Amino acid sequence: MAQKDDVAARLAAVVGTGNLLTGDAIPDDYAHDEALTSPPQKPAYVAKPATAEEVSELLKAATEAGVPVTARGSGSGLSGGARPAEGGLLVSFERMNAVLEIDTGNHVAVVQPGVTLSELDRMTAEHGLTYPVYPGELSASVGGTVGTNAGGMRAIRYGVTRGNVVGLQAVLPTGEILRTGGRTSKISTGYDLTQLITGSEGTLALVTEATLKLHPRLPHGATVLAPFDDFDQVMAAVPRIVASGLEPHILEYIDNLTMAAMVHNDKLELGVPAEIRDRTEAYLAVALENRVADRVGEDVETLGELLLELGATDAYVLEGGAARKLIEAREKAFWNAKAAGADDVIDVVVPRTAMPPFLTRSRELAQAAGGGVIGCGHAGDGNVHLAIFCPDPDTRTALLTDIFGYAMELGGAISGEHGLGRTKTKYHDKLADPAKLALLRRLKDGFDPAGILNPGVLFA
Amino acid sequence: MAQKDDVAARLAAVVGTGNLLTGDAIPDDYAHDEALTSPPQKPAYVAKPATAEEVSELLKAATEAGVPVTARGSGSGLSGGARPAEGGLLVSFERMNAVLEIDTGNHVAVVQPGVTLSELDRMTAEHGLTYPVYPGELSASVGGTVGTNAGGMRAIRYGVTRGNVVGLQAVLPTGEILRTGGRTSKISTGYDLTQLITGSEGTLALVTEATLKLHPRLPHGATVLAPFDDFDQVMAAVPRIVASGLEPHILEYIDNLTMAAMVHNDKLELGVPAEIRDRTEAYLAVALENRVADRVGEDVETLGELLLELGATDAYVLEGGAARKLIEAREKAFWNAKAAGADDVIDVVVPRTAMPPFLTRSRELAQAAGGGVIGCGHAGDGNVHLAIFCPDPDTRTALLTDIFGYAMELGGAISGEHGLGRTKTKYHDKLADPAKLALLRRLKDGFDPAGILNPGVLFA
């Protein structure tokens, strides 16, 4: 253990003794994120750096000692991307949690990776601005959302993390501190390292600062809930709503079972009569927002007519409180699934027109495997969140291989926003084009020749 | 020359004798793009493939023979990225020019790289949709715009090429045909190869198909022209207009000299009285669009009041014809600069709040070098287009090194949308962070181990 003590001493010299944990002093929380199928694993070291320079020194030490390194923000990820490796170093960004600047001239926020989305939301709101990436969990850190390329409900209007990160400071495993991009959304000067690092799940570099695009926070909004008898009508309605130019910022489908669970768990009062609820196969929730209050009312009218024309049984305009509760309940879908005993959650993305065959086949495959799936999702993005009920691990692996394989046949991908992490990597390794996998590995080698960054994540 | 004949025979076997040009049969047009400072160079071979499989075979042959390869769309680039290498193979995509599909369910267009933006615009218009990337030159090919990550005037609302390319088919120099992304704008499954290849100027892979995000084509619009006595007021106005939530899709500044040239060359009738023109230092052109006609009128009113509050001398609402002519004239700014004898054009990007110091210093540096700069630019994006008047090449190189260096000090980059090509690469090599350059080279090696793709472009 002498070598291990040497490493610990060197890491402690970088961050200070009080900011390095080892052995039994490491709380259980650092052993996992929120993934349902990634067994906890305590790291050998937890370091809490305060600066990019400290991160650089930590990485140099880890590279020299051959210690695997995992980055951690809030630990709210759903794919095991923040679960440390055995004997590894967990770099926790909890002390690098400052909003460094809200730049109202360039409409960007410059933040450290440990900042939570809720803190950023509070600070941008003071300036009438918003960072529009709202994954379900607002305790998520910016660093974590950059790592997974988080999406969330507002992506239909504002895009996912990728398009909203315009610059990064990132540290290579060999210690170099790089700056990519800047306070501008337009650069054609060399390869786009900002977008390459975004979504790389801590396997290429550790992000120590992010420059995020801010948007005007539109003050007026409304949410419309439309029940449909027939799921296929919901799916057919989506492109028509997008084409309308109404620019919804939320466009979610919720299947009847998921809605029933939400109504029950969150005591939602949606004003939908029981006889309509009973015949409903799925709901669309559509939120509109505008700079001008009157326009919201007009647009809700237009949307309501369009929904009826597209086969909705009715269209309910939810008042502020009810709308907020519905959206919050939808954001908690993962926790409902977990509470209901789901064995895994997946977030496949397919072309939105392929959602009906994808869902039909997924249900059939799950039934054939003796299990079941229920779900909801970002209908405008083709991003389907399914809770998987299938307790036997081998059966479930076979089922998910089939489901992911079918999604890919349809032109989709394994994950729309959670990332591959540790839990979906084996499927990617098996199903992805080998030539593409080989290329991804060469890119990884270009950043991380010693392979110390998050081994087991993205590549098995 | 036997070896050269062997190569020619192999290439001809791939594309057919009629689609391979060599020696004197190669027209001069293939020797250059529209860059002002890249001397023409005829390639040894011009091949016109019809399929991705043919591109793959061409690249395998080139890799084996060590022949450098350059891709060409319409040849309208401004940085020499489509200028072939001596003894090289030019792959012209003129036969791969089909719009394969306008997918109204998923709101994407699937196109071959040789399709022009004007053809794509015509075909999307039939469906009430638009591909919103409008660089000045609509004869540009989609492949070229993907290569340079083209921007254009509407980026302030719709983003640049990068955010609007959701999938690619691309051929590695070693012949593998890859598919990246898909008909969805949200993927967190491995590194984002789509965005890495976009903007890589033909140095990583050859794009053989692109899937492009389409947006509803908003039917109603108006353009407002606002003269300002003081350039700094123009710059201070920009963030206020962006923050207003009016969502302009065009937000351009035009300095008085450039406007005078546009008025003269394009016979613009803007309705701005002579006494106001004479005192004006710069103009803002702001275009608004909406789904609803009445809202355009209301928004123009709001915008006009805001502009006056921000110091505009007046605000002129241009009628349809006059607005179109102004925008067309602005798009021709490059040709005006060329006709006026400009020695180079640059398209630096800086944080938008840094435009005033950048422009002041650029003018001072140019004057000190015995030259001058005039310009216009995408004010919302901090993307400054300057015509450089400085005939002596060495003096100009020193001047541009200083200008680019200062832009980078301000947090900007050498090119916002034209790319580095052959003409700006030497500045990048000199000014960029060596650690970043080394990383870019490692990524290049991961795609193109033999270094056959567009040598001299992006890296000197």
B382/A416 CB distance under 8 A: no
Residue B336 pLDDT > 90, yes or no? no
Residue A152 pLDDT > 60, yes or no? yes
The Cα A67–Cα A64 span in angstroms is 8
- Longest distance between any two alpha carbons in chain B, whole Å: 73
**Which tens digits make up the pLDDT trace of A373-420?**
998 899 999 999 999 999 999 999 999 999 999 999 999 999 999 999
The Cα B73–Cα B145 span in angstroms is 9
The CATH number of the structural domain formed by B337-419 is: 3.30.70.2740
Cβ atoms A222, A300 nearer than 8 A: yes
Least confident of A206-220, B294-308, B321-335: B321-335
The Cα A442–Cα A439 span in angstroms is 5
The CATH number of the structural domain formed by A99-216 is: 3.30.465.10
pLDDT at A2 (0 to 100): 47
Residues of A in contact with B298 (CB under 8 A): 292
B244/A291 CB distance under 8 A: yes
Residues of A in contact with B195 (CB under 8 A): 162, 192, 195-196
Residue in A with minimal Cα distance to B298: A292
The Cα B11–Cα B8 span in angstroms is 5
- Matching fold, domains B99-216 and B220-331: no
Helix (H, G, I), strand (E, B) or coil at B3: helix
Taking residues B339-346, report their average pLDDT: 93
Residues of A in contact with B428 (CB under 8 A): 189-190
Residue B1 pLDDT > 70, yes or no? no
pLDDT at A1 (0 to 100): 42
**Which tens digits make up the pLDDT trace of A255-269?**
999 999 999 998 998
A372-378, strands of its sheet edge to edge: A316-318, A220-228, A282-290, A250-255, A372-378, A383-389, A344-349
**Mutate which of B126, B171, B189, B310 to test chain A, going by most A C-beta atoms within 10 A?**
B189
Q: How high does pLDDT run on average in chain A?
A: 95
Residue B2 pLDDT > 60, yes or no? no
Predicted complex ipTM exceeds 0.95 = yes
Query: Which fold is adopted by the domain A221-331?
Result: Alpha-Beta Plaits (3.30.70)
pLDDT at B205 (0 to 100): 98
The Cα B189–Cα B342 span in angstroms is 46
B193/A436 CB distance under 8 A: yes
Where does the pLDDT of residue B4 fall: very low under 50, low under 70, confident under 90, or very high at 90 and above? confident
**Domain coordinates in residue numbering, chain B:** 2-94, 99-216, 220-331, 337-419
The CATH number of the structural domain formed by B2-94 is: 3.30.43.10
**Which tens digits make up the pLDDT trace of A57-102?**
999 999 999 999 999 999 999 999 999 999 999 999 999 999 999 9
Residue in A with minimal Cα distance to B384: A186
The Cα B205–Cα B453 span in angstroms is 7
pLDDT at B226 (0 to 100): 98
The CATH number of the structural domain formed by A334-419 is: 3.30.70.2740
CATH number belonging to the domain at B220-331, selected among 3.40.50.720, 3.30.70.2190, 3.30.1360.170, 3.40.50.10860: 3.30.70.2190
**Region at A267 (left for phi over 0; alpha for psi -120 to 50; beta for the rest):** left
Taking residues A145-171, report their average pLDDT: 96
Give the single-character DSSP code of A410: T
Where does the pLDDT of residue A6 fall: very low under 50, low under 70, confident under 90, or very high at 90 and above? very high
Least confident of A9-18, B136-145, B158-167, B330-339: B330-339
Taking residues B20-45, report their average pLDDT: 96
pLDDT at B67 (0 to 100): 98
A105/B352 CB distance under 8 A: yes
**Which tens digits make up the pLDDT trace of B68-126?**
999 999 999 999 999 999 999 999 999 999 999 999 999 999 999 999 999 999 999 99
Residues of A in contact with B432 (CB under 8 A): 190
